[in-house]
Structure 1
Amino acid sequence: MPRFIFITGGVVSSLGKGLGAAALAALLQARGYKVRLRKLDPYLNVDPGTMSPTQHGEVFVTDDGAETDLDLGHYERFTGVHAKQSDNVTAGRIYSDVLAKERRGDYLGATIQVIPHVTDAIKNFVLSNIDDEDFILCEIGGTVGDIESLPFLEAIRQLGNQLGREQTCFLHVTLLPYIAAAGELKTKPTQHSVKELQSVGIQPDILLCRTEHDLPAEQRGKIGLFCNIRESAVILARDVSNIYQVPLAYHDEGLDREVMRHFGLEDIAPPLERWKTICDTVANPEGEVTIAIVGKYTSLQDSYKSLGEALTHGGIANGVKVNVEWIDSELFEQEGAAVESLHHVSGILVPGGFGERGSTGKINAIQFARENDIPYFGICFGMQMAVLETARNLCGMTGAGSSEFGETEIPLVGLMTEWTSGNAKEQRSAEDDLGGTMRLGAYECLLTEGSLASQLYGEHLINERHRHRYEVNIAYKDALAASGMVMSGLSPDGGLPEIVERPDHPFFVAVQFHPELKSKPFDPHPLFTGFVAASMEKSRLV
């Protein structure tokens, strides 16, 4: 049976529970332990797939096709352990499953209640699909005191009793605000947060206290005294300049040492050279490069969390700092808007998105990149818009469009109604629900020998994650090729275009999948590495 670490948060949201869980898992990995991370989300959506990116952030997609919380991206980037559908659950899915069982009569006429039926379902999720992991880290979303969090807190309280102290650890993340007028950190919010957690029967074993300042020994002792924990278990979580410093910072503060002590495990200093090398590269770049992300959800950068990190990884691979300019694509649709304002950037990236709003601005940005030999990288929707740009401006297909936007004269991009997933055939229609009805998860792609994509990957068959409903029509392959755009990556059956590129351009690659979801600081994705390298070359030529 693995050991379980339950991570909760208090005082305010966005304290970094997910990042803390990922960093702790990386430290446990460095000590030789096998880890798995899970996220329990208390909101009532079945999954984040239909939630607005500007409200919830990006949707992270797993190999097995789950649409999950963005924290699972942190988990993968810090540990390299591929997340699964069984690693993220919401209150919506829990209640949906419980009610489905009630309708089927599985409860044999019993009165269905939060305790035990909902809490049992949560516990079953936490304990399911475990292999030979040494540690399972479970992050509970939301903030202690939220009504919707109560069933999850009750479930982990019960697990703590059932599994015993030797198998469970409760880590609580809180805030130590600094009051400038008083010139000191205030511990009272942390005390109240712990009191709230204790009121539901959970005594935290370790406190991870987020702050911008040093914590005096006197206040550390005060927190330990009033929160009923050892002083050494009050771990300071200072802000750092980049997120990949977090494992090193938490190790220096003794977080992993305190976890070893809690479980009675031998405390041997872990090798952390991987993280030291990454942080040294980030802190001491050999140059800089500026890349514009022309997107639809730029008002909240968490909408493209994995994308921003993947560009950082591409910079790490090339030893440079990547400066990202986030540009709302609608700016390039307004009267007198100057796409020429992109002249100073060394690369242009158009990411995924849904809907017609902002699409013309993206096409204008792509045209500018093509005509001015600026490296271009298109992802998902960014590939579809690149194909439309070529069709309209070079192929003479002025009526080319996407059926996602409504009826179109030339449906160059259309709704997928059928595709192969493993040995099964998936079918969809325009009338299906939005949630979970896309082409989701990892699919294989065959690369054309000698293409730029094959050179970057260094292999012929790749496997990448998808999240889309619409697809470029393979019937226009020859027409596009006649105008310089080749389909250099196809599904194994040859029916679905996966990658397009322009051999006549310094770097023009667009893909239907989401390569950013697989990039890691210690294993940068080859497409991002190539894109940043091409952007560096462009900056040298300017």
Structure 2
Amino acid sequence: MIEKIAILGDFNPIHYTLHQLNNTARDVQKVLKREIQFDWISTDIFDSKTVFEKQNYKGLWIAPGSPYKDMDGVINAIRYTRENNIPTFGNCGGFQHMIIEFAQNVCDIQNAGHEEITPSNPYLLIKKLSCSLKGEEETLNLIEKSSFLYQTLKQDTILGKYYCSYGINEIYTDNLKAHGMIFTSISEDNNYRSFEIKDHPFFVGTLFQPALTSTLEEPNPLIIEFIKKSLENVNRLIK
């Protein structure tokens, strides 16, 4: 039986970053020597119970591409995988919406929002960056040695590549930390670029896009780790 991983996002062929995500998915199969089906499912039709209970997808990869067709659909999918221990990996817009979901449903910031979508919202967990990172790259310091990120990459610094203009609002980071979010990398100008939560098989968000530093010969190790955790995760608890 072919194992399946869902890619939550609104595929647009004009964005090369999404093609690179698909390329990396194919490359990882060669490394793992396993046939894996990666299926894009649009945010406006994604139904978690159908995807994970009836169709038996093993993990959720939240693709870049914000603003999504259905922001609430993305938030609901993230909550479902977080609460049911389904491996979840979000990059760029995926990172941003994982932050918002955690703020709403764990930190009780019920109106937590995104400046790109609701700029007048007084509770903007995701705000416009002072400098756009579209097409940019930067060196990141890994700051949590026990994290999936560090244990997978085993490096003190990594190169992050981006295609985004929005990131986490630093005024909320202490609240997020107090509720169990662990920030795992930081830029040279002291902005967090990735996070994860403990007591979950894999719940990792990166503002940078690992697929952009992935090659045919060496697929990004963090993507490989996400896929391994997804395929291993047979004992999840569906609530």
Q: TM-score, normalised by structure 1?
A: 0.41
1:476 lines up with 2:172 in the alignment? yes
Do 2:67 and 2:93's aligned partners in 1 also have CA atoms closer than 8 Å?
A: no
Equivalences for residues 264-413 of structure 1 within 5 A: 288-297=2-11, 304-332=18-46, 338-343=47-52, 344-355=56-67, 357-405=69-117, 406-413=119-126
Do 2:58 and 2:86's aligned partners in 1 also have CA atoms closer than 8 Å?
A: yes
> In the aligned structure 2, how far is the partner of 1:396 from the partner of 1:540?
28
Amino acid at match of 2:78: I
Structure 1 pair 484/363, CA: closer, same or farther in 2 (3 Å)?
same
Structure 1 pair 289/300, CA: closer, same or farther in 2 (3 Å)?
farther
In structure 1, which of residues 436, 445, 451 is the aligned counterpart of residue 147 of structure 2?
451
Structure 1 pair 324/300, CA: closer, same or farther in 2 (3 Å)?
farther
Do 1:356 and 1:404's aligned partners in 2 also have CA atoms closer than 8 Å?
A: no
The answer to which structure has the higher helix fraction is 1
Structure 1 pair 356/304, CA: closer, same or farther in 2 (3 Å)?
closer
- Name the SS of the counterpart of 1:443 in structure 2: strand
CA drift of 1:399 comes to 1.3
**Structure 1: gaps of 5 or more residues:** 1-286, 333-337, 419-436
Equivalences for residues 516-535 of structure 1 within 5 A: 516-535=211-230
Greater Rg, structure 1 or structure 2? 1
Do 1:499 and 1:511's aligned partners in 2 also have CA atoms closer than 8 Å?
A: yes
Which structure would you say has the larger RCO, counting Cα contacts within 8 Å and 6 or more residues apart? 2
Structure 1 pair 354/541, CA: closer, same or farther in 2 (3 Å)?
closer
Aligned to 1:154: none
For residues 454-494 of structure 1, the C-alpha deviation after alignment (integer angstroms, 9 at most, x for no partner) is: 01111110012111111111222221122222111111232
In structure 1, which of residues 498, 515, 527 is the aligned counterpart of residue 210 of structure 2?
515
Structure 1 pair 301/347, CA: closer, same or farther in 2 (3 Å)?
farther
Give identity over the alignment, percent: 28
Amino acid at match of 1:493: D
Amino acid at match of 2:5: I
**Structure 2: gaps of 5 or more residues:** none
> In the aligned structure 2, how far is the partner of 1:490 from the partner of 1:303?
22
Provide the aligned C-alpha RMSD in A.
2.2
Q: TM-score, normalised by structure 2?
A: 0.89
Do 1:484 and 1:504's aligned partners in 2 also have CA atoms closer than 8 Å?
A: no
Equivalences for residues 26-65 of structure 1 within 5 A: none
Aligned to 1:460: 156
> In the aligned structure 2, how far is the partner of 1:541 from the partner of 1:296?
27
CA drift of 1:393 comes to 0.6
Aligned residues: 232
For residues 376-425 of structure 1, the C-alpha deviation after alignment (integer angstroms, 9 at most, x for no partner) is: 0001000000000000011010111011112112111001124xxxxxxx
CA drift of 1:303 comes to 6.9
For residues 20-40 of structure 1, the C-alpha deviation after alignment (integer angstroms, 9 at most, x for no partner) is: xxxxxxxxxxxxxxxxxxxxx
Amino acid at match of 1:526: P
Amino acid at match of 1:352: P
Equivalences for residues 429-440 of structure 1 within 5 A: 438-440=133-135
Amino acid at match of 2:27: H
